[in-house]
Chains A and B, each alone.
Chain A
Amino acid sequence: GAGVSQSPSNKVTEKGKDVELRCDPISGHTALYWYRQRLGQGLEFLIYFQGNSAPDKSGLPSDRFSAERTGESVSTLTIQRTQQEDSAVYLCASSFNRNQPQHFGDGTRLSIL
């Protein structure tokens, strides 16, 4: 497809489990971003990739959160030992380079029981 693709669309899991969220950026986009959106709120920045490196990880809320990107393409966001406060929509965006507009995927809605 031509847009940013995220999977799964929805994820329900029990507290304490690990989850992995996937993002396929638009082909050729070197920059990739993860954001979190809690219910009724704006987006919070989590991490930014330029190619395979992450110059800015400042938004990751704790060491339970990590992300990687391989082959300047797919990125995965991993949350270990999930807590109820991790429940949110996780949105991925990509851009041709750092200063170009970001294009967003539809997000993954994560629900922690």
Chain B
Amino acid sequence: AQTVTQSQPEMSVQEAETVTLSCTYDTSESDYYLFWYKQPPSRQMILVIRQEAYKQQNATENRFSVNFQKAAKSFSLKISDSQLGDAAMYFCASYYNQGGKLIFGQGTELSVKP
């Protein structure tokens, strides 16, 4: 079975600083995608960043970047220059081309201190 694990239930960062959220996954598939989603109190899941497993280059989206270590099955999210609006639950998720569903981790609650 495919699994996604987020080992940090809560994280905290000072405004303007950098924080890294951890994620590991387990799969025997070769063709898959990895995602980070943000969920503010409004409940809506917002796509932050996406990584294709076949790409060696780490994805970057403005202040958000990932460290994708395929051999280690690790997919961490780095948030630079943290802003108050970054405070939310962050979910790591995987998607396999042979399936149709996202598999989510348990989430990391990020708080940003002014």
Contacts and interface: CB of A to CB of B under 8 A. Distances in A.
Interface stretch (A13-21, A41-49, A64-72): A41-49
Nearest to A91: B45
B107 A33 contact: no
B100 A101 contact: no
A33 B44 contact: no
Contacts of B33: 99
B42 interface: yes
B28 interface: no
B101 A56 contact: yes
Counting chain A residues whose Cβ lies within 8 A of the other chain, the interface size class is 20 to 34
Counting chain B residues whose Cβ lies within 8 A of the other chain, the interface size class is 20 to 34
A50 interface: yes
Interface in B29-49: 33, 35, 37, 42-47
Given A43-B91, A101-B50, A106 B100 contact: no
A107 interface: yes
Given A59-B101, A101-B50, 6 more contacts: A31-B100, A33-B100, A41-B107, A42-B104, A48-B101, A93-B45
Interface of B: 4, 33, 35, 37, 42-47, 50, 91, 93, 97, 99-107
